[in-house]
Structure 1
Amino acid sequence: MAKKKVSNEADLKRRRQAPLITPTDLKTGATRDIAGGLNGILADVFALYLKTKNFHWHMSGPHFRDYHLLLDEQADQLYAMTDPIAERIRKVGGTTLRSIGHIARLARVSDNDADYVEPLDMLAELREDNKSLAGRLREVHDVCDEHRDIASASLIENWIDETERRTWFLFEASRVGKGGG
C-alpha cells in the first residue's frame, strides 16, 4: 500500500510540473518536431486567412462579386483548418499558439498592408501564398511520416488537397482570355 501511495504522489507531482503534456506513445523528439511543424502551419494558416479576408474586404472592379465570393469561401476554408490543426498539436503532446504575437513570430506568409492592390495582383499573391503553404504542408507531412504519426499525415493530405484547390481556383480566376478579359 505504501508503494502505491508513493507512486500516486510521484504522478501528482509530475502532473503539476507539466499540466499540459498530453499522454502519447510518440517520443519526446517526435512531439517536438511534429508540434513545431504544425504550429508553423497554424501560424501560416492564420496569416493567410487574414490576408485573404483583407483582400475580400478591399476587392473592387468589374469582377467584384465573383472575386469577393471566391475569397470569402477560401477564407472560410482556411479558418476551418485552424481548430483541427491546433487540436492535433495538443493530441500529440504539444502546446499551440497563444497569441497574435506568437503567430507573427512563426508565420511565413507576408503581410500586404497596401492601401490599394489591383484585383489580379490580389489573386496572384494569394495563389503564390497557397502554393507555398502546400509545399510547407508537404514538409510537415514528411516529418509526420518519419515519426510514424499517421493521423497527422492523413489530416495534412486533406489540407494539401484543399490548398491545391485554392491555388487552382485563384490561377483560373486570374487568367486573361483571348478577348482581353
Structure 2
Amino acid sequence: MAAETDMVFRFVNSTSTNTDSDARAFRVYQVVGTAAHEELELYRFSHSMTGSAGGTTTYQRKNMNSLIFETVGHISWSSNIMASAVYFGLEEVSVKDLRKVKNATSHSRRFKSGVGAGYKWKISDNRTDLYCIDSQDKYIASWSNHERILRVTPRASAMLDRLVVTCFLNVWFKRLGRW
C-alpha cells in the first residue's frame, strides 16, 4: 500500500521511562535517512491539566527556517478520555467533524481538509493498523500500530498537521474501544 517515496514519521512517548505518562504527550520524528536511522524531531505534543475536566493538548511544529518549535494548534478535552475540539491555528473544528461516521457499523472515520476535500481513515485488514484515502479512494497515509509509524504520500504534505492530528485522535479512540 505504501510507496518507497512516502514521508515516514515515528511517534514516541515523551516520557517513555515513566509508566504513568499521559499518552497525549508525545513527539513525532521524521525519518530522514535510512543507513543510520537519521531522524528529525518535527512535532511536540504536550498535555496539561488546565483546570478543566480533561485539559489541553498543545502541539508544536518545528519551523524549518528558524529551527524553533512554534505552537500550531491544540486539542481541547472535555474529560480525560474525550476530546471535544481541535484548533488548527485559529480554525476550530469539532472532533465529531474530524471523525464523522457514515453509519453505525462503519469501519471508517471521515474528515475534511480545505474547501470540500474529503478524506477517511479506515481500519486495515489486520484490525490494528489504519490507512487514509482521499475521495477518489487513493492512498494518502497509513499508520502502523506496532511500529508507531505514520507514512504520508508527498502529495499530502500540505495537510500534514491535519493527518498527524487525525491519526493521533483515531488511534486514541480506537485504543479506548470507541472506534
Q: Which of the five TM-score ranges fits, normalised by the shorter chain?
A: under 0.3
Give the alignment's TM-score, normalised by structure 1. Answer: 0.26
Question: Which protein has the bigger helix share?
Answer: 1
- The structure with more radius of gyration: 1
